[in-house]
């Protein structure tokens, strides 16, 4: 019981609903196996919930924002929210994507968790830019609206015409079409850049 009490105290000290086994191990000075056992015990008693391998959340009445999970899924590399998810968060599209879409220099993959599904799309390291912390919160990284659209068009040229169709787009100011064009010109592959620019003009008609 003492071990679980120490674990609970460390969870409270973190001050956020999502945490990892590694974080609690580092804070408590206990081994990973010991902390894992304590967390499993708390999970069985509905104090916390496992959302992914080594990632947990407190059980509360408050809704957990799945975007907060992003940094904990990719500890060894940076990823940022982009494509349709970022466009929705910036108010460019109204339709809520079924999955949270992420940009990474890693291989594309899908990750299913207890609080959301994350789809990772690989982009060139030379095009891995144009993002910042969401509202300065340092909780997760997100593409600026123009880069999110440019990322979609980049993927359109590479992934079997994926993202070739969009719901109605709100491209009113402060959104900058000029900035989108600038990002498209940064696509490393010239042929892909020309194709993406052509698709942008089709969208703007």
Q: What is the pLDDT of residue 57?
A: 93
- Write the pLDDT tens digit of every residue in 117-151: 999 999 999 999 999 999 877 689 999 999 999 99
Q: Report whether pLDDT(77) > 60.
A: yes
Average confidence (pLDDT) over 147-169: 86
CATH fold of the domain at 2-58: Arc Repressor Mutant, subunit A (1.10.10)
Structure tokens at 154: 């980049």
From-to residues of CATH 1.10.10.10 in the chain: 2-58
**Residues 6 or more apart from 90 whose CB is under 8 A from it?**
144, 145, 148, 175
Q: What is the pLDDT of residue 22?
A: 94
Q: What is the pLDDT of residue 52?
A: 95
**36: part of which helix (H) or strand (E)?**
helix 32-44
Its pTM stands at 0.89
Q: Report whether pLDDT(1) > 60.
A: no
């Amino acid at each position: 019981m003492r071990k679980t009490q120490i674990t609970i105290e460390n969870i409270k000290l973190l001050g956020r609903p999502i945490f990892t086994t590694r974080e609690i191990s580092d804070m408590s000075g206990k081994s990973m196996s010991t902390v894992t056992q304590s967390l499993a015990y708390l999970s069985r008693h509905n104090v916390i919930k496992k959302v992914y391998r080594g990632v947990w959340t407190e059980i509360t009445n408050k809704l957990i924002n799945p975007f907060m999970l992003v940094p904990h899924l990719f500890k060894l590399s940076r990823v940022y929210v982009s494509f349709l998810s970022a466009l929705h968060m910036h108010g460019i599209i109204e339709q809520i994507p079924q999955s949270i879409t992420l940009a990474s220099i890693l291989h594309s993959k899908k990750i299913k968790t207890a609080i959301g599904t994350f789809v990772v799309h690989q982009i060139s390291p030379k095009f891995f830019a144009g993002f910042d912390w969401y509202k300065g919160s340092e909780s997760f990284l997100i593409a600026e609206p123009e880069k999110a659209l440019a990322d979609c068009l980049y993927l359109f040229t590479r992934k079997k015409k994926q993202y070739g169709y969009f719901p109605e787009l709100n491209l009113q100011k402060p959104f900058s079409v000029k900035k989108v064009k600038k990002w498209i010109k940064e696509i490393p592959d010239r042929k892909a850049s020309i194709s993406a620019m052509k698709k942008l003009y089709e969208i703007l008609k």
